[in-house]
Amino acid sequence: MGKIIGIRREDKNEWEKRVPLVPADIRWLKETHDIHTIVQPSKLRIFSDEEYRQAGAEISEDLNRAGVIYAVKEIPAHLFQKNKTYVFFSHTIKGQAYNMPMLQTMVDLGCNLIDYERVIDEKNQRLIFFGRYAGLAGMLDTLHGYGQKLMARGTPTPFAKIKQAYQYDSLAAAKESIAAIGSEIDSQGFPAELCPLIVGFSGYGNVSRGAQEIFDLLPHKILSAEAMLEMAENFSNDNLNLYKVVFSEDDMVRPRQGAFSLPDYYAHPEKYESKFENYLPLLSILVNCIYWTEKYPRLVRKEYLKNRTILESNLKLQVIGDISCDINGSIEITNRATKPDDAFYTYFAETDCFENGIKPLGVTVMAVDNLPCEFPRESSLEFSAVLRDFVSAISAADFSSKDSSMELPFAICKALILRQGNFSNDYQYMHNFLNSAELDKSHR
């Protein structure tokens, strides 16, 4: 028998039905590379145990014989085994405090960690991701929230017919439904008092493209950020079209001195400040799709929302679909992550408080942090189709070798956070996260 890999049962929450490798690709790995797969049993997984068994996998709780273990989400710290290789979304590269104990355990046990988030090509483009499906599901959920909020305000619209992503039988069914609503708007329009109905997308990557894929099924016109500001006083009452604005970095921030430079912004974000609040009075919906850490400026601040309320200015912004879901991050009023069956909460700036659910007043936030779970079959199929091509090389790698390069593809080398418990060159900075976590723990 050739190499053996394991697939861990996902158990982070009841919505996590995704898999890293689907049955058809397990069969392909066996037939093409003589790689045997052990799959932990699961009643939750979107692909049944029997589907994996028929594909030639072994169903067993025991993954000890597997040299490499694949998962989707974080693995509980007590399940790691000494010197073993793990491939999953670790959610550690930003120093996420809640995962530092897990990371420390992997260091202590001399584990190898490959993180899907960092599987990139020579152009720094991600190769394995669920981002498109986060965008697809996030846009559906956001439009659903907008329709329900307008209903709560006494304004029925075609948007009220939009369901959340998980309530559709498939992505195809969801798209068919949105296209039908688009046809209804095209012929009958929506209430004129909503005009201009502008939807802003922060960012232009995989997540944003997925969100736009849904939005583009509705009748719309495209504006640049600059054109939106120029037309602010002269919008027509076109209730047969929405407007779409996609914001890039130079739309969202400005240098404190000098001219904007994209490389300089990412190298020295402290030299830049947000100018996004120029656009907020014009947006009805904001879909947030950007990568963010604390060193970057915020897009939506509590102080700004409070000032608008105090001045009794008309803020059109009704719903923020925070697909990025960084807690207290680029959207400061994202104060917690939600689940699909309880996806929304509403922020009231005048009292700086939150209420669960969609309310007529205030700004409603959609903050589901595992949106691809709402399309678990389709998203897993697409993810697995890319991952499977790296499995053989990962299985063949000798992580104990003194040869620093090994025989790993460039993309996997870039994703190797830990090798035998030691941080790879690109991740030396993560020592600081562990040190800070230990210092914080000692001060409690």
Q: Is a pLDDT exceeding 60 seen at residue 404? A: no
Burial of residue 56 (CB within 10 Å: 0-12, 13-18, 19+) is: middle
Average pLDDT, the chain: 94
Pairwise CA distance, residues 263 & 209, whole Å: 22
Longest dimension (CA), the chain: 72
Here the tokens at position 322 are 């925070």
What is the CATH number that goes with domain 4-129+375-431?
3.40.50.720
Query: CB of 88 within 8 A of CB of 116?
Result: yes
pLDDT category of residue 438 using cuts at 50, 70 and 90: low
Pairwise CA distance, residues 100 & 220, whole Å: 44
- pLDDT attached to residue 5: 98
Query: CB of 58 within 8 A of CB of 86?
Result: no
Pairwise CA distance, residues 281 & 96, whole Å: 33
Nearest CA among 20, 4, 9 for reference residue 372: 20
Q: What is the mean pLDDT of residues 341-346?
A: 97
Residues 6 or more apart in contact with residue 226 via CB below 8 angstroms: 251
Residue type at position 280: L
- pLDDT attached to residue 405: 56
Backbone angle region of 169, left / alpha / beta, with phi > 0 → left and psi within -120 to 50 → alpha: alpha
Residues 6 or more apart in contact with residue 257 via CB below 8 angstroms: 271
385: number of Cβ within 10 Å = 15
CATH entry 3.40.50.720 includes domain 131-374: yes
Segments of the chain assigned to CATH 3.40.50.720: 4-129+375-431, 131-374
pTM of the model: 0.92
- pLDDT attached to residue 388: 98
| Ranges 60-74, 214-228, 401-415: which has the least confidence | 401-415
pLDDT category of residue 444 using cuts at 50, 70 and 90: very low
Q: Is a pLDDT exceeding 90 seen at residue 54? A: yes
For 218-240, what is each residue's pLDDT tens digit? 999 999 999 999 988 788 889 99
For 136-190, what is each residue's pLDDT tens digit? 999 999 999 999 999 999 999 999 999 999 999 999 999 999 999 999 999 999 9
Strands (E), 175-259: 198-202, 220-223, 242-247, 253-255
pLDDT category of residue 308 using cuts at 50, 70 and 90: confident
- pLDDT attached to residue 342: 97
